Each structure stands twice: as C-alpha cells, then as structure tokens.
C-alpha cells in the first residue's frame, strides 16, 4: 500500500441521491488521495455502486459536489471520462472475440492509431499474462482470465483513476491474489484505485484508506489499522501446560477469561509495554505460560460494530431497487445514464464511449 500524502484525486461533498422516496446517498463526503487505494465498504443497498456511478459520470447526483482529477462529473463529464476507467461487477468482455481483438476494439474506441493500438494490446496481453491465449476466443477463458482481460481493456486509455466495482467476485483464491498484484502494480505507477468489495480481507490487504457506508451515510473513515483500533476485543491469549498454572493466572489477571483447552484470554492491546508488563506479572508470580499470541479485531469486527450486521450478510454486491442503479458493465463510462444490460456483444456496449 502506498502513502496518503498526495493531493486528492477524488473529492465529494454533501453528495445526495434519491430514487423516489428512497434516500440512497444522504450527504456523503469523500476524499481520495492520488496514487492510493481507497475502499468503500457497506452492506447491500448502502449506496456503494450508486457512488461509483455518480463519480464515473454514469449518473447525476441530486445534490452536493464531486471532483475527479479536478473535473466535475456533472458539468464536464467528457473531461472526467478522459482520465478514468471503470471495471464493473460484471465482465464486459466479448466472448465472440479473441483477447487481442477485445483490446484492439477498445483501442479503436479510444481513437488510437492502428499501429499504436496493436502495440498497446500486445503490451497489456503480456503484462496480464494473457499472451499465450491472445488469439483464442474469450469465451474459452477461465473466470480469472476474463477478469484480467476486463481490467486490461480498462487500461488501454492509460486512465489516472480506475473504479473497481467488486473486481474479484466469484474468483478463486489464486485469481483473487493475481488481481491484487495487478492493483498494487497500478498504484505503484501512480494510478488511483477506487475499490468497492464484498471481501473485507481484500480491503484490508489493498486499501490505504477505507470508508464504511451505511444507510446512505459515511459512518467511519480511516486506515484499516485506525478502524480496527476503534473496536474493542483485542486480547492476548496465553497457553498453559497444566490446569494449575491456568487457574493461578486467571486469579492473578483481572478480566481474564478462559478460552479453549488450557488457554486464557487477557483483554488489552498488543503494545510492547503492555506485553512486557503482562509477562513481568506472570514471572513475579512464578507462573509460566507455554505460548503467547496476540489477537486484534479484524475488519469483520469493525463492519459488525458499525453497521450492526456481519460482513457475511453482504456476500453479493449492493443493488438498488431502481433500474438506473444497475451495475456498470462497460469499461469506460458511457454518455447516457443507463448501463448496458447485455454482455453478449462488447462492441455494442463500448460503442457508447464515442
């Protein structure tokens, strides 16, 4: 993960969006530093995809202001589209075309000269480890290969900001980690990543900063470590060789609670001073622990504490009841506000960027 000292690539102030009587975004504020990964988390229906749609020009907000690389998505959408890429929840790859043809199609839509388009396609096929399958129809690709090709298509235009909406949904662990490596490589080149994900370990692994969105409002922001520190539940687990030592330690240490087997959970942080003090108390009392391990709250604990729902309840991307809030399926933002509804033919989907 990269430092967060650069200027904002994305800002939002008082962003609002309603569908009929349903308030989807209720005045949210965001600031995303350039060249970082920002992750927006929230339960289903929290407004994550709606936020992506507004910032990527797919939808107009009802109120508030936003800027993407200094441009206003509502007033200057073409300028925003020139610097962004969007990879939605569903792959926009055309299965009837080869991997190379999909990339060259995007180069044509970006109005790149033919020779430059071929060169760019070859570079991306090599970078995304698709060169061996470049001339095979994309319909024969595995899920991970299709997602890599989908992201490669987004990169044809060298975007400075990429919106990744649930980029690894449905992928196996190996493919997910490959995508993580690609994201890190992009950030290393100065690209800003705006990530929505259902996998909290993914946000923990990749994000420089996280915002938790619930019922249309930002309820917390911070680094993963900062958010974890807001949630109680950290403890030190001591493992003992026999029941006598366990009982003696339980009597000695206030608030300690027995765990599995001959273990004892002692509440507190994992700081060096706290650990040293704990071990000193045990030594002074003549009590020896066999092993010690530190347990801190994870983002699942943070998510539950902030939203009242476990992350497992958000195992699919959020969908609004409005048809206008369907997930974008194209790699660059179209000029209308409705995302294409078919993945059958990418050339029809992507023609809207012209």
**DSSP string for 169-187:** TT--HHHHHHHHHHHHHHH
The model's pLDDT over 19-55, given as tens digits with 9 standing for 90+, comes to 999 999 999 999 999 999 999 998 888 899 999 999 9
Model confidence at 335: pLDDT above 60? no
pLDDT of residue 197: 86
pLDDT level of residue 314 (50, 70, 90 thresholds): low
Query: Residues of the chain with pLDDT > 70: what percent?
Result: 84
Q: What is the pTM of this model?
A: 0.75
Strands 37-41, 63-68: parallel, antiparallel or unpaired by DSSP?
unpaired
3-state helix, strand and coil shares in percent for the chain, rounded to the nearest 5: 40, 25, 40
Model confidence at 243: pLDDT above 90? yes
Nearest-5° Cα angle at 125, 122 to 131 = 95
The model's pLDDT over 115-170, given as tens digits with 9 standing for 90+, comes to 999 999 999 999 999 999 999 999 999 988 998 999 999 999 899 999 998 888 87
Residue ranges of domains in the chain, CATH in brackets: 8-86+153-171+186-229+303-335 (3.40.50.300), 235-296 (3.30.70)
Model confidence at 342: pLDDT above 70? no
Give me the mean pLDDT over the 277-284 stretch: 94
241/149 Cα distance (integer angstroms): 54
212/257 Cα distance (integer angstroms): 31
- Report the DSSP beta bridge partners of residue 211: 40, 221
The model's pLDDT over 220-239, given as tens digits with 9 standing for 90+, comes to 999 998 998 888 777 899 99
Strands 63-68, 8-19: parallel, antiparallel or unpaired by DSSP?
antiparallel
CA distances (Å), origin 204, targets 37, 52, 180, 303, 311: 11, 20, 11, 12, 13
CA distances (Å), origin 113, targets 3, 17, 110, 354: 36, 40, 9, 15
165/28 Cα distance (integer angstroms): 18
354/340 Cα distance (integer angstroms): 15
289/249 Cα distance (integer angstroms): 9
354/343 Cα distance (integer angstroms): 18
The model's pLDDT over 59-81, given as tens digits with 9 standing for 90+, comes to 999 999 999 999 999 999 999 99
CA distances (Å), origin 253, targets 228, 273, 280: 24, 16, 12
């Amino acid at each position: 993960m990269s430092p967060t000292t650069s200027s904002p690539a994305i800002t939002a102030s008082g962003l609002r969006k309603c569908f009929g009587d349903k308030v989807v975004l209720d005045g949210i504020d965001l600031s995303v530093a350039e060249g970082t990964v920002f992750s927006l988390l929230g339960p289903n229906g929290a407004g994550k995809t709606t936020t992506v749609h507004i910032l990527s020009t797919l939808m107009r907000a009802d109120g508030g202001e936003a800027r993407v690389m200094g441009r206003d998505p509502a007033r200057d959408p073409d300028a925003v589209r020139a610097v962004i890429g969007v990879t939605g929840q569903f792959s926009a790859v055309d299965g009837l075309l080869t991997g190379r043809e999909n990339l060259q199609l995007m180069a044509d839509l970006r109005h790149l000269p033919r020779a430059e388009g071929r060169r760019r396609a070859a570079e991306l096929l090599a970078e995304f480890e698709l060169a061996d399958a470049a001339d095979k129809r994309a319909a024969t690709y595995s899920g991970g290969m299709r997602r890599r090709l989908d992201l490669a298509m987004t990169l044809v235009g060298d975007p400075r900001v990429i919106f990744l909406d649930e980029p690894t949904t449905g992928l196996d662990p190996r493919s997910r980690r490959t995508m993580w490596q690609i994201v890190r490589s992009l950030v290393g080149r100065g690209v800003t990543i705006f990530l929505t994900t259902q996998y909290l370990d993914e946000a923990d692994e990749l994000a420089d900063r996280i915002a938790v969105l619930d019922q249309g409002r930002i309820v917390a922001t911070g680094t993963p470590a900062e958010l974890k520190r807001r949630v109680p539940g950290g403890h030190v687990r001591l493992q003992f060789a026999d029941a006598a030592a366990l009982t003696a330690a339980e009597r000695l240490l206030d608030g300690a609670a027995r765990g599995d087997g001959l273990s004892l959970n002692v509440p507190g942080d994992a700081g060096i001073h706290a650990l040293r003090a704990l071990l000193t108390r045990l030594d002074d009392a003549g009590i020896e622990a066999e092993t010690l391990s530190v347990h801190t709250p994870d983002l699942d604990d943070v998510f539950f504490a902030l939203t009242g729902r476990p992350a497992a309840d958000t195992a699919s991307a959020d969908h609004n009841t409005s048809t206008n809030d369907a997930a974008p399926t194209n790699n660059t933002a179209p000029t209308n506000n409705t995302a294409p509804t078919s993945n059958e033919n990418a050339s029809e989907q992507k023609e809207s960027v012209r």
